[in-house]
């Protein structure tokens, strides 16, 4: 299996340059994973399927969904792609490579874990800064146009925010100079994580039901439906920073209240 995978990788690196793979290949991979994982949640909303798992009852209008998609295409080509191209020399300088041999799974795992921890820390503080009055009004409010998020709203934001919070995603790979395969894997996992956090559904199979300290859709949905001064839940992936700094108090109180109501209803049914 490993040799087959290496043969496939050999095929790529002999037919495309490092620049083509890292920039154009990476951009195509991002777009494919992002839209293929995010679009189904638009269809779920429109069709009303699996509505019992939807966190908020409100449904986004078709025009709101279409606005999100059109802006995303504009921002991805007008902001994301140029950032990828202009950051390429930095990654190469820091040691990024695409050549064989491929890195061991231990190195890949260690780097991915490091990226998630570092990204979460940088994102948390950057996100809190964006919730200060002036920056929220002029920048971050764009992302909060959707109080009822769906998967694709995860990357719907002001161009300045795309650059500002995007730094949290690229800083880990930028300082470690990973193999391109590791960079691609990190990008895919990060996209899937943020789409899931904004999907608007809490399923029995949602990662937050199995992974300790993982926030997920229920955790982040609370952040979207409250006013900016009281929202909390600023982390991107995990919950511990919000717990440490007390920015999840409102969310925890709401969860405790809901659990109490459920328990009371269960007791009434037994009687």
- Residue whose C-alpha is closest to residue 81's, from 166, 204, 200: 166
Let me know if residue 75 belongs to a domain. yes
Per the structure, the complete domain to which residue 98 belongs is given by 2-191
Let me know if residue 197 belongs to a domain. no
Q: What is the pLDDT of residues 91-109, one digit of tens each?
A: 999 999 999 999 999 999 9
Let me know if residue 205 belongs to a domain. no
Task: Report the pLDDT averaged over residues 20-49.
Answer: 97
pLDDT at residue 150 greater than cutoff 90:
yes
pLDDT of residue 263: 52
Let me know if residue 178 belongs to a domain. yes
Number of structural domains found in the chain: 1
pLDDT at residue 264 greater than cutoff 90:
no
For 59-65, which contacts have Cβ atoms below 8 Å and span 24 or more sequence positions? Answer: 59/148, 60/146, 60/148, 60/150, 64/146, 65/150, 65/152
Q: Is the peptide bond before 260 cis (omega within 30 degrees of 0)?
A: no
Residue with tokens 């109501």: 261
pLDDT of residue 75: 98
Let me know if residue 35 belongs to a domain. yes
- Token duo for residue 14: 């002999």
pLDDT at residue 11 greater than cutoff 60:
yes
pLDDT of residue 4: 84
pLDDT of residue 265: 58
Query: Three-state SS for 97?
Result: strand
More confident residue, 267 or 244: 244
Average confidence score pLDDT of the chain: 93
Please give the C-alpha separations between residue 93 and each of 96, 101, 166, in angstroms, as whole numbers. 7, 19, 20
Residue 139, C-beta contacts closer than 8 angstroms, at least 6 positions apart: 130, 158, 160, 161, 164
pLDDT at residue 261 greater than cutoff 70:
no
Let me know if residue 210 belongs to a domain. no
pLDDT of residue 268: 54
Q: What is the pLDDT of residues 49-89, one digit of tens each?
A: 999 999 999 999 999 999 999 999 999 999 999 999 999 99
Residue with tokens 């009004």: 137
């Amino acid at each position: 299996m490993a040799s087959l995978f290496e043969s496939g990788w050999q095929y790529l690196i002999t037919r495309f340059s490092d620049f083509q793979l890292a920039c154009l290949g990476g951009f195509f991979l991002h777009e494919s994973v992002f839209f293929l994982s995010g679009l189904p949640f638009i269809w779920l909303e429109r069709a009303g399927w699996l509505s019992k798992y939807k966190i908020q009852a409100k449904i986004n209008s078709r025009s709101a969904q279409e606005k999100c998609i059109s802006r995303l295409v504009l921002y991805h080509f007008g902001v994301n792609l140029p950032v990828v191209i202009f950051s390429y020399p930095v990654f190469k300088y820091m040691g990024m490579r695409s050549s064989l041999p491929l890195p061991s799974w231990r190195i890949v795992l260690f780097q991915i874990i490091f990226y998630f921890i570092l990204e979460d820390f940088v994102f948390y503080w950057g996100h809190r800064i964006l919730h200060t009055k002036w920056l929220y009004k002029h920048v971050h409010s764009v992302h909060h146009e959707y109080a009822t998020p769906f998967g694709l709203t995860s990357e719907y934001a002001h161009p300045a925010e795309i650059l500002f919070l995007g730094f949290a995603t690229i800083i880990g790979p930028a300082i470690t100079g990973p193999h391109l395969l590791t960079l691609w894997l990190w990008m895919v996992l990060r996209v899937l994580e943020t789409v899931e956090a904004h999907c608007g559904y809490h399923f029995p199979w949602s990662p937050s039901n199995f992974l300790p300290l993982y926030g997920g859709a229920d955790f982040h949905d609370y952040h979207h439906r409250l006013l900016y001064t009281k929202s909390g839940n600023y982390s991107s992936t995990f919950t511990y920073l919000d717990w440490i700094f007390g920015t999840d108090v409102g969310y925890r109180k709401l969860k405790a209240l809901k659990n109490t109501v459920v328990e009371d209803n269960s007791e009434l049914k037994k009687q």
